[in-house]
Amino acid sequence: MRPPTRRGRLTAALSVAAALITLAGSTSAQPSVAAEAPVAAAALPYQDASLPVADRVNDLLGRMTLDDKIGQMTQADKDSIVPQSDINTYRLGSVLSGGDGTVSPNNATTWADTYDALQRQAIGTPLAIPMIYGIDAVHGANAVRGATIFPHNIGLGATRDPALVQRIGRAVAEEVSGTGVDWTFAPCLCVARNDRWGRTYESFGETPELVSSMSTIVDGFQGAGGAGSTAASVLATAKHYIGDGGTTNGTDQGNTQLTEAELRAVHLPPFKSAVDRGVGSVMLSYSSWNGVKVHGHKFLVTDLLKGELGFKGFVVSDWAAVDQLDGQTGFTADEVSKAINAGVDMVMVPYDYKKFISTLRAEVDNGHVAMSRIDDANRRILTKKFELGLFEKPLTDRAYTSTVGSAEHRTLARQAVRESQVLLKNDGGVLPLAKSAKLFVAGKSADDIGNMSGGWTMSWQGRSGAITPGTTVLGGIRAAATDSSRVTYERYGNGIDSSYTAAVAVVGETPYAEGKGDRTGAMGLDQEDLQTLAKLKASGVPVVVVLVSGRPLDIAAQLPDWKALVAAWLPGTEGGGVADVLFGDYKPTGKLPMTWMRSVSQQPINQGDGKDALFPYGHGLTYGTGTEPDPTPTPTPTPTPGAGSCTATTKVTNSWSGGYQADVTVRNTGTVALTGWAASWDLGNRTVTNVWNGTLTTSGGRATVRNTQWNGSLAAGGTVTFGYTANGSADGLTVPACSGTTGA
Ligand code: GLC
């Protein structure tokens, strides 16, 4: 439980007001205000913070009308609640600001004042149930001008530093709390498998173990003991359950075509990690699994997430995602009951909350949604509200408002920027640069906080320009230089000549979010960048490229012209961290969270799929006596035949003229656990074109698939499945030979 704060006095007054409990039994679709005279009452059990949360929930549930309960399951967009008193009238349990939600003037105090006004509406209801306010604080309190903007998740994945990421979660929680908001729709625990996806930068990486390792941010947001376990605790959201990063062709909100074994192996582990850390909410994915929308998938939501994983928080839909279930615009009674019965506890409506409330009410009245489902959803939601301490302290803790954009948080963000830089190339040790060097800086993203921050910054899609206070890469370079007058900046490279020691080109992508960032065609640099780079190349000056992008880009053709390449990802407001690496104040330690394509035709390209990447997953150079090579990657263990025994059984899951898809199940037939396995078979005239859950090598007409880093251990009698797609006929496949490794 959170320690008392200055709000205690105000809260006590509100508790007295709330103690005026009415026993209104409204029956209309629109709850009326107290139907009977309020009766004064001492604080009721649910208002007694000394009682166990479960007892408080039970007591409160017993006092709630159906309208109260349906209101708790309703989340509305702040700007759509007109009049604001509808929060009171319709007992709305939650308010959100979507990506474009804002206040005017946009600063922390205005946000806090706005939150408090909305909350007063909520606690002015007969039962005084506080609302919970959600926002996408995905890399800082990124809707608030002046907030610290941290690197997006793809950069945090490159740090390989879960402890740092937890500290970032804590800093974000403080800034978010200072604006009143109690709930962030973060972290995205998506495993991005196709870089075409417009949300690749919201992913910590392409492997489940890297993404799982960064679930420490949940403890940062909530506190290590779960929701409400520390002051300024904000509810975290594991999203988007499940398979959002695994859709075919990386299409946002598309179809994830995987077997259950593959879905479990690649996309489930991060959610298990978050659930084990007590994540308070889970947001469902718009996408489908083998053609079935996740928002209506009872097995995935209720049986797997709530049952098998034991998730005790509440499930929230995505923005108007219920509307998509029948493929038509708007939502119907069938869609509402399908989503609620699948296990959705709170619906992000977000606009027509009155229609949603009346629709769900009717679906309960006609028996399509059981009261037990309504009560379960309320129990989950109310439990988190009690744990967060919202009943005792419903209003903004203004003690945290001053942390928004604080020097301490910006220092932390700068450390994150340093650790996220991945040095991909450094010919002749051109880096680190000398601070006394005469430098020419160019590129559209050198002096642009908006480009450096990407989507979900001050607006949903983000935008180029000076959108919020911060230090650009150019600003960082000038601040670090011995004499800033020796640093010239011209966006397009005009004016460069051979007098410069080096040119630094800061290029890449302009902001985008979600499907608007899907790249279905080329994935190279834009024309402006290419023209700028051509000018720099023509000068003969060594070119250092700093790539500001939300994903790997197709740059193999240009790479020979660059002496050095640093992947900066989307660093946010603290561009000084990039300069720290360029000048060697920090030796680069970043490692690729994504395999880097040699060509866009290779997408999807991931660790272990046997494709010839430009830079492999985990690649990252540092500074040393020269350019020290990447430490030799640990080779996938070649199982020692006989050390462990296994069998491999192939099952053709799909075939078409000229190709087929197959699952291969490896079974540990020995008596001791395997620590690695390999299955190999004759290819004949076939070629394997894609592999998942395994690491492919081919030689001498045979294909060998070994375990990945995350599925090598196999208990005696256990099985694991990998899959592949191949050109050629599925007829006459030989049974793969299997060998296993045991021991360390
Ligand atoms: C968006 C996103 C989701 C976000 C929600 C609220 O469509 O899919 O990540 O949390 O809506 O903004």
Q: How far is the CA of 71 from the centre of ligand 1 (A)?
A: 21
Same domain, 308 and 164: yes
Q: What is the pLDDT of residues 561-580, one digit of tens each?
A: 999 999 999 999 999 999 99
Same domain, 171 and 82: yes
Two tokens, residue 507? 């290029």
pLDDT value at 36 more than 50: no
Q: How far is the CA of 587 from the centre of ligand 1 (A)?
A: 36
> How far is it, in rounded angstroms, from Cα 446 to Cα 77?
36
Q: How far is the CA of 98 from the centre of ligand 1 (A)?
A: 7
Does the residue 625 lie in any domain? Answer: no
Based on the structure, what is the number of domains in the chain?
Answer: 3
Nearest protein CA to atom 10 of ligand 1, as residue: 185
Same domain, 425 and 398: no
Closest CA to 270 of 342, 192, 194, 176: 192
Two tokens, residue 389? 């301490």
Looking at residue 24, its pLDDT comes to 37
Q: How far is the CA of 724 from the centre of ligand 1 (A)?
A: 33
Nearest protein CA to atom 11 of ligand 1, as residue: 319
**How is 644-710 classified by DSSP, letter by letter?**
B-EEEEEEEEEEETTEEEEEEEEEE-SSS-EEEEEEEEE-TT-EEEEEESSEEEEETTEEEEE--TT
Does the residue 613 lie in any domain? Answer: no
- CB-ligand 1 contact for 319 (6 Å cutoff): yes
> Which of 319, 323, 514 to mutate for ligand 1's pocket (most ligand atoms within 8 Å of CB)?
319
> Which of 96, 241, 283, 293 to mutate for ligand 1's pocket (most ligand atoms within 8 Å of CB)?
283
Same domain, 445 and 580: yes
- CB-ligand 1 contact for 98 (6 Å cutoff): yes
On average, the pLDDT of the chain sits at 92
Q: What is the mean pLDDT of residues 226-243?
A: 97
Looking at residue 179, its pLDDT comes to 98
Looking at residue 243, its pLDDT comes to 98
Does the residue 614 lie in any domain? Answer: no
Instruction: Between 631 and 40, name the one with better pLDDT.
Output: 40
Cβ pair 65, 339 in contact under 8 A = no
- CB-ligand 1 contact for 99 (6 Å cutoff): yes
**pTM of the entire predicted model:** 0.82
- CB-ligand 1 contact for 185 (6 Å cutoff): yes
Same domain, 301 and 220: yes
> Which atom of ligand 1 lies at the shortest distance from residue 98's CA?
12
Nearest protein CA to atom 1 of ligand 1, as residue: 319
Does the residue 453 lie in any domain? Answer: yes
Residue 542 Ramachandran class (φ > 0 left, ψ -120 to 50 alpha, else beta): beta
> Which of 252, 318, 461, 516 to mutate for ligand 1's pocket (most ligand atoms within 8 Å of CB)?
318
Q: Which long-range contacts (CB under 8 A, 24 or more apart) does 306-312 make?
A: 306/343, 309/268, 309/271, 309/272, 309/275, 310/275, 311/275, 311/279, 311/282, 312/380, 312/383
Cβ pair 219, 226 in contact under 8 A = no
Active-site residue list = 318, 514
Residue 445: which CATH number? 3.40.50.1700
Sign of CA dihedral 77, 83, 84, 90: negative
pLDDT value at 218 more than 60: yes
Residue 345: which CATH number? 3.20.20.300
Q: What is the mean pLDDT of residues 606-610?
A: 94
pLDDT value at 457 more than 70: yes
**How is 486-518 classified by DSSP, letter by letter?**
GEEE-TT-TT--TTSSEEEEEEE-----GGGG-
Q: Select from 403, 433, 464 the last residue of a domain.
A: 403
Same domain, 267 and 374: yes
> Which atom of ligand 1 lies at the shortest distance from residue 321's CA?
7
Two tokens, residue 551? 């994903």
pLDDT value at 328 more than 80: yes
Cβ pair 704, 697 in contact under 8 A = yes
pLDDT value at 743 more than 50: yes
Cβ pair 111, 175 in contact under 8 A = no
Q: How far is the CA of 604 from the centre of ligand 1 (A)?
A: 24
Q: How far is the CA of 245 from the centre of ligand 1 (A)?
A: 14
- CB-ligand 1 contact for 136 (6 Å cutoff): yes
Same domain, 93 and 222: yes
Give the sheet arrangement for strand 314-316, strand by strand.
Answer: 237-241, 281-284, 314-316
- Is residue 260 classed as helix, strand or coil in its secondary structure? helix
Structural domain that includes position 302: 16-27+57-403
Same domain, 313 and 343: yes
Nearest protein CA to atom 3 of ligand 1, as residue: 318
Same domain, 383 and 445: no
Looking at residue 663, its pLDDT comes to 87
Does the residue 320 lie in any domain? Answer: yes
Does the residue 1 lie in any domain? Answer: no
Nearest protein CA to atom 12 of ligand 1, as residue: 98
Same domain, 231 and 364: yes
> Which atom of ligand 1 lies at the shortest distance from residue 240's CA?
9
> How far is it, in rounded angstroms, from Cα 201 to Cα 527?
22
Nearest protein CA to atom 6 of ligand 1, as residue: 98
Q: What is the pLDDT of residues 458-516, one digit of tens each?
A: 999 999 999 999 999 999 999 999 999 999 999 999 999 999 999 999 999 999 999 99
pLDDT value at 29 more than 70: no
Q: Which of 393-407, 593-607, 687-701 has the lowest mean pLDDT?
A: 687-701
Where residue 735 falls among pLDDT bands split at 50, 70, 90? confident
**Backbone dihedral angles phi then psi of residue 110, each to the nearest 5 degrees:** -65, -40
Q: What is the pLDDT of residues 329-377, one digit of tens each?
A: 999 999 999 999 999 999 999 999 999 999 999 999 999 999 999 999 9
Looking at residue 42, its pLDDT comes to 56
- CB-ligand 1 contact for 199 (6 Å cutoff): no
Q: How far is the CA of 562 from the centre of ligand 1 (A)?
A: 38
Q: How far is the CA of 285 from the centre of ligand 1 (A)?
A: 9
Same domain, 447 and 525: yes
> Which of 176, 185, 241, 285 to mutate for ligand 1's pocket (most ligand atoms within 8 Å of CB)?
185
Instruction: Between 89 and 693, name the one with better pLDDT.
Output: 89
Nearest protein CA to atom 7 of ligand 1, as residue: 319
Q: How far is the CA of 97 from the centre of ligand 1 (A)?
A: 10
Does the residue 699 lie in any domain? Answer: yes
Give Dmax over CA atoms of the chain in angstroms.
87
Same domain, 328 and 429: no
pLDDT value at 637 more than 90: no
**Backbone dihedral angles phi then psi of residue 726, each to the nearest 5 degrees:** -145, 150
Does the residue 622 lie in any domain? Answer: no
Percent of the chain with pLDDT over 70: 91
Sorted by sequence, the CB contacts under 8 Å of residue 657 that are 6+ apart come out as none
Looking at residue 10, its pLDDT comes to 43
Q: How far is the CA of 294 from the centre of ligand 1 (A)?
A: 15
Residue 686: which CATH number? 2.60.40.290
Burial class (CB in 10 A: 0-12, 13-18, 19+), 260: middle
- CB-ligand 1 contact for 241 (6 Å cutoff): no
- Strand-pairing partners, residue 188, are 239
- CB-ligand 1 contact for 239 (6 Å cutoff): yes
Looking at residue 627, its pLDDT comes to 45
